[in-house]
Amino acid sequence: MQILITGGGGFLGARLARTLLAQGELSLAGQPRKRIETITLTDRAAPPDDLKNDPRVRVVVGDLNDVLASKQVPAAGTDCVFHLAAAVSGECEADFDLGMRSNFAATHALLEACRALGNKPTVVFSSSVAVFGKRPGFEMPDPIQDDTLPTPQSSYGTQKAIGELMMADYGRKGFIRARSVRLMTVSVRPGRPNGAASSFFSGMIREPLAGVRAQVPVGPEVDHPILSPSRTIAAIIRCAEATDAEWGPLTGLNLPALRCSVGEMAKALERVAGPEATALLDWVPDPNILKLVNTWPGNVKSARANALGLTANADFDEVIREYIRENPQAVKLKVR
């Protein structure tokens, strides 16, 4: 089996690659499990050394539009594509052209390349809960269901919604097997902050655990849907493996979400790492981030994902402890 992961140098892409390599085989859409022969990772930056040095990994570094135009990816015979590459929310709001090139044009070019393969590859597209938004003058749908009408209120959410529609049509035409997976905010992410407006949902935990101050740009009452990295990766793989009957006629699926307020996240941090951790939080509103976050839903349901056996984290304490367990070198405070 040949697999392509766009955004393969990033946190989720690299974690997905490691998980697939560790299990060594994959069942696509309920078909017999096949040995994974090659995983191609493409991104602007090279993946970590452990992936580069694995003989099953092929690395293509460059802008996704460029490597698609030069036909470096996808390789002939590619069975499955995990399309994770994207410009993130804050970047897209600040630079409209960047978002359209990275999230619309690149997705369209990738789908055309998959169509040209001629073997109907399974394409798993990482969409986002940002396809839902609070329209001015209207109440937010509560709860958000799998079939709730997308009403994005950001350039990023709009581009992801366009991607879902393209996926649906390419799937309807039989060019690909389409699986659009709406990711919740993934927390806690290790490493440095990125340009996402939601980055602080990780930063307000990661930085204090490292003994560093962190800004919380919204109020404690803000609700948000969260899913830990391990559960996100497991869900992405399960969506590729689901049979067509299990998946059903829709192409957009909400991943499970832990509904948690920012205040509850701070309380969980204090339970796990004590008041020394929460003393490092600076509650300083950022109007630009608040404007975006206030349009995002807090109460998201995931009936289709639940039917696939996928569940959310039990509580935010579990999310924090997963990060501590996986990144002990980044934790400087004493945890309980």
Whether the CA torsion 172, 156, 298, 270 is positive or negative: it is: positive
Nearest to 73 by CA among 164, 159, 4: 4
Looking at residue 250, what is its pLDDT? 87
Looking at residue 287, what is its pLDDT? 92
What are the start-end ranges of the H helices in the chain?
11-23, 49-52, 64-69, 89-94, 96-99, 106-117, 155-172, 200-209, 229-241, 244-247, 262-273, 275-278, 287-293, 303-307, 316-326
DSSP for 49-75? Answer: HHHHT-TTEEEEES-HHHHHHTT-SSP
* Six-digit token string for 316: 């935010």
Looking at residue 178, what is its pLDDT? 98
Higher per-residue pLDDT: 192 or 120: 120
Strand order in the sheet with 57-61: 57-61, 38-43, 2-6, 80-83, 122-128, 177-183, 252-254
Distance of CA 125 to the CA centre of its chain: 9
Looking at residue 286, what is its pLDDT? 93
- 192: pLDDT strictly greater than 90: no
User: Which residues does the annotation mark as catalytic?
Assistant: 156
Looking at residue 35, what is its pLDDT? 98
- 71: pLDDT strictly greater than 90: yes
Residue range(s) occupied by CATH 3.90.25.10 in the chain? 197-223+258-298+313-330
- 90: pLDDT strictly greater than 90: no
Question: What is the percentage of the chain residues whose pLDDT exceeds 70?
Answer: 100
Per the CB < 8 A criterion, the answer to whether 313 and 231 are in contact is: yes
Nearest to 232 by CA among 127, 111, 79: 127
Instruction: Provide the CATH topology of domain 2-184+227-254.
Output: Rossmann fold (3.40.50)
pLDDT tens-digit readout, 269-313:
999 999 999 999 999 999 989 888 888 899 999 999 999 999 999
Looking at residue 75, what is its pLDDT? 98
- 195: pLDDT strictly greater than 80: no
pLDDT tens-digit readout, 166-182:
999 999 999 999 999 99
- 20: pLDDT strictly greater than 80: yes
* Six-digit token string for 133: 């938004």
Per the CB < 8 A criterion, the answer to whether 64 and 106 are in contact is: yes
Give the 3-state DSSP-derived string for 196-250, with helices as H, strands as E and coil as C: CHHHHHHHHHHHHHCCCCEEECCCCCCEEEEECHHHHHHHHHHHHHCCHHHHCCC
- Rounded mean pLDDT of 33-50? 97
Instruction: Provide the CATH topology of domain 197-223+258-298+313-330.
Output: UDP-galactose 4-epimerase; domain 1 (3.90.25)
Angle at which helices 229-241 and 316-326 pack, to 10 degrees?
100
Looking at residue 10, what is its pLDDT? 96
CA 76 vs CA 34, 85, 115: distances in Å:
17, 20, 11
* Six-digit token string for 330: 């980044």
228/183 Cα distance (integer angstroms): 11
Looking at residue 272, what is its pLDDT? 98
Nearest to 133 by CA among 120, 118, 117, 144: 144
* Range 160-194 burial, b when 16+ CB lie within 10 A, else e: bbbbbebbbebbeeebbbbbbbbbbbbbbbeeeeb
- Rounded mean pLDDT of 95-117? 98
- Rounded mean pLDDT of 94-123? 98
- Is the full-model pTM beyond 0.85? yes
